[in-house]
Amino acid sequence: MSITILSLSLILRRHFFPYLPLLCLVASLALVPSLLDAQNEDDFARARREMIERDLRPRGIKDQRVLKAMGAVPRHLFVPEKQRPAAYEDRALAIGEDQTISQPYVVALMSQLAGLKGKERVLEVGTGSGYQAAVLSCLAADVYTIEIISSLADRARAIFSRLGYDNVWVKTGDGFFGWEEKAPFDVILVTASAEKIPDRLWQQLREGGRLIMPLGPERQNQILIRATKISGKPSVEKITDVIFVPMTGAVKTENR
């Protein structure tokens, strides 16, 4: 046994010793991608902190839990790779299928308007990239999110599982009908525009709950509203002008 080990080490030394520096170089090159990844993650974390100071705090986002969530969720992992350098700019970005991820300020604003304390059950209509749902998952107990485009729903499901967002559930389907089995919700967030609040969604909001969504015509200035359910009726606050992609599906025929 010891003779075998001795001869093996002699063979290794004779044949590989001259190449040792080269082997070391190859080994360290193999480490480069993970070192670069770590470096990139540091850069992205810094970009998130800058985004908070530049685009969120000065514009009135002051809920500490929302700021913390915005500082934690890696928006760059929710956008297509070529969009990553722009991930922390305050603008909507294309995510494929002719859809967009909302600008960080609007995500933070809608999250702040939700007034979440941590124990709520939230419904989001319009999963898109999954970013808004990931932010909500840091603020509430359970997040249910519905996406009508199956490829986007699948991609969001995969990223939630990869990043460990285990209090988010994705349904592929038409959010116009809500998620009856999981109702009532404390908060409903709709991230696509409609002319008026879909009645089925309103029915699934609990008394005292808040529904936040953009209302108005397609691809034109819409108004972001927060409707609070008081004695079954909406008490509506108009928040600000926004432009969202339109809600599709049954809303086109049934929301009249």
Residue 245 binds to ligand SAM (criterion: CB under 6 A): yes
DSSP helix/strand/coil, 8: helix
Candidates 111, 112, 137, 191; binder of ligand SAM (CB under 6 A) is 191
**Run of H or E including 93:** strand 93-96
Report the distance separating Cα 192 and Cα 15, nearest Å: 66
Residue 137 binds to ligand SAM (criterion: CB under 6 A): no
Binding segment toward ligand SAM, per CB under 6 A, in 114-122, 162-170, 199-207, 247-255: 247-255
Angle of helix 64-72 relative to helix 20-51, nearest 10 degrees? 150
Binding segment toward ligand SAM, per CB under 6 A, in 4-12, 41-49, 172-180, 234-242: 172-180
β-bridge pairing 142-147 and 233-242: unpaired
Residue 129 binds to ligand SAM (criterion: CB under 6 A): yes
Binding segment toward ligand SAM, per CB under 6 A, in 57-65, 157-165, 207-215, 242-250: 242-250
Residue 247 binds to ligand SAM (criterion: CB under 6 A): yes
Given the residues 34, 102, 111, 137, select the one marked as catalytic.
Answer: 102
Concatenate the DSSP letters of all residues of 145-199 into one string: EEESSHHHHHHHHHHHHHHT-TTEEEEES-GGG--GGG--EEEEEE-SBBSS--H
Q: Which residues, numbered 192-211, are part of the site for ligand SAM (CB under 6 A)? A: 192
Residue 148 binds to ligand SAM (criterion: CB under 6 A): yes
Report the distance separating Cα 166 and Cα 145, nearest Å: 13
Measured in degrees and rounded to the nearest 5, phi and psi for residue 225 equal -120, 155
Number of residues forming the site for ligand SAM (CB under 6 A): 26
Residue 147 binds to ligand SAM (criterion: CB under 6 A): yes
For residues 70 to 99, the per-residue mask of contacts with ligand SAM, x marking binding by CB under 6 A and - elsewhere, is -----------------------------x
Candidates 56, 70, 101, 205; binder of ligand SAM (CB under 6 A) is 101
Nearer to ligand SAM, 126 or 216 (CB): 126
Nearer to ligand SAM, 14 or 82 (CB): 82
Q: Please name the residues in contact with 101: beta carbons below 8 A apart, sequence gap of 6 or more.
A: 75, 78, 79, 92, 93, 95, 128, 129, 131
Token pair for 140 = 């509430």
Q: Please name the residues in contact with 186: beta carbons below 8 A apart, sequence gap of 6 or more.
A: 116, 120, 121, 122, 140, 206, 209, 210
Residue 55 binds to ligand SAM (criterion: CB under 6 A): no
Confirm whether 102 is a catalytic residue.
Answer: yes
* 25 C-beta neighbours (distance < 10 Å), count: 11
Token pair for 207 = 């008394």
CB of 246 to ligand SAM, least distance (A): 7
Binding interface with ligand SAM (CB under 6 A): 99-102, 125-126, 128-129, 131-132, 146-149, 152, 174-176, 191-192, 244-245, 247-249, 251
**Active site (catalytic) residues:** 102
